[in-house]
């Protein structure tokens, strides 16, 4: 397991500076929520941590090792997207196995990897099957393994996306508004399950949400982001009772 260190990360898209020097240290096994209004740069920051986007400047370290410039597949992080991002032509079991198959292939083999998978060695296949099974047991989606994403409800799809994140046993989970497409009841239920996963796995979590209640109930600390900067990162009670400035107070809805 690993802590994450984000140092002075900036990101420009053309003329626009979307991240203006973000620094955040997340301890090993900590659960940090990242909250802030739409467009403040939350997804961009997560994508940079995951290696899906390069920062304009600044550094990312995982477990004390700089990873800036390395490929996403080599970072040992799992990202879960709001849109689930499942492969529609693959079954649930195949979707969950994707990160393991990607990892077991060489860089050259990975290049043309669109469509059918190359056959792996036998032992590799049984290792993959075992890992898929344990992830699906944890999420109680065993009966769905042969279905395609189009045959699943939103909640079930989100579980599959979580399963795919779990299966590679990552050092850290990056979740980008994973519950925002679910209805209120399912959101509360899935929230509890994510909290339980965090306790069980003792992995580091960065959880992007625009739901303050979610952030308040789940997090060790909440980072409040606005306009490409983190204004405050503290325990939920501190954020609520002692916001560092009026913009944080207004966003959180605290009494100050």
Residues that bind Mg ion (CB under 5 A): 42-43
Please, where are the H alpha helices in 57-183?
92-104, 107-110, 122-139, 154-166
Tokens of 208: 């992007």
Write out the H or E segment, with its range, that includes residue 173. strand 172-176
Helix (H, G, I), strand (E, B) or coil at 200: helix
Q: How far is the CB of 47 from ligand ADP (least distance, A)?
A: 8
Q: Which is nearer to Mg ion, 84 or 240 (CB)?
A: 84
Helix (H, G, I), strand (E, B) or coil at 179: coil
Regarding 44 and contact with ligand ADP (CB under 6 A), the answer is yes
Task: Residue 3: count other Cβ atoms within 10 Å of its Cβ.
Answer: 17
Q: How far apart are CA 105 and CA 131, in angstroms?
A: 17
The site partner of 92 among ligand ADP, Mg ion, none (C-beta below 5 to 8 Å per kind) is: none
Regarding 253 and contact with ligand ADP (CB under 6 A), the answer is no
**Pattern 13-42, ligand ADP, x by CB under 6 A:** x----x-----------------x-xxxxx
Q: How far apart are CA 39 and CA 18, in angstroms?
A: 9
Q: Which is nearer to ligand ADP, 152 or 233 (CB)?
A: 233
Q: How far is the CB of 61 from ligand ADP (least distance, A)?
A: 21
Which single residue brings its beta carbon nearest to Mg ion? 43
The site partner of 219 among Mg ion, ligand ADP, none (C-beta below 5 to 8 Å per kind) is: none
- Give the interface with ligand ADP as residue ranges (CB under 6 A): 13, 18, 36, 38-44
């Amino acid at each position: 397991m690993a802590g994450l260190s984000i140092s002075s990360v900036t990101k420009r898209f053309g003329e626009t500076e979307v991240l203006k020097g973000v620094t955040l240290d997340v301890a090993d096994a900590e659960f940090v929520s990242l909250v802030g209004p739409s467009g403040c740069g939350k997804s961009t920051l997560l994508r940079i941590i995951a290696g899906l986007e390069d920062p304009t400047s600044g550094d990312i370290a995982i477990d004390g090792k700089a990873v800036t410039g390395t490929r996403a597949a080599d970072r040992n992080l799992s990202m879960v997207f709001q849109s689930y991002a499942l492969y529609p032509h693959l079954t649930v079991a195949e979707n969950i196995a994707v990160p393991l198959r990607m990892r077991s292939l060489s860089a050259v083999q990975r290049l043309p990897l669109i469509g059918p998978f190359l056959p792996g060695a036998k032992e590799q296949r049984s290792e993959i099957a075992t890992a898929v099974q344990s992830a699906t047991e944890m999420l109680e989606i065993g009966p769905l393994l042969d279905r395609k994403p189009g045959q699943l409800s939103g909640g079930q799809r989100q579980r599959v996306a979580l399963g795919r994140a779990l299966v590679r046993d990552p050092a850290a989970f990056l979740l980008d508004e994973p519950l925002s497409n679910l209805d209120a009841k399912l959101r509360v239920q899935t929230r509890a399950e994510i909290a339980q996963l965090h306790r069980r796995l003792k992995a580091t979590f960065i959880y992007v949400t625009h739901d303050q209640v979610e952030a308040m109930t789940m997090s060790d600390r909440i980072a409040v982001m606005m306009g490409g900067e983190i204004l405050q990162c503290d325990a939920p009670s501190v954020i609520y009772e002692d916001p560092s400035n009026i913009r944080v107070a207004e966003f959180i809805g605290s009494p100050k």
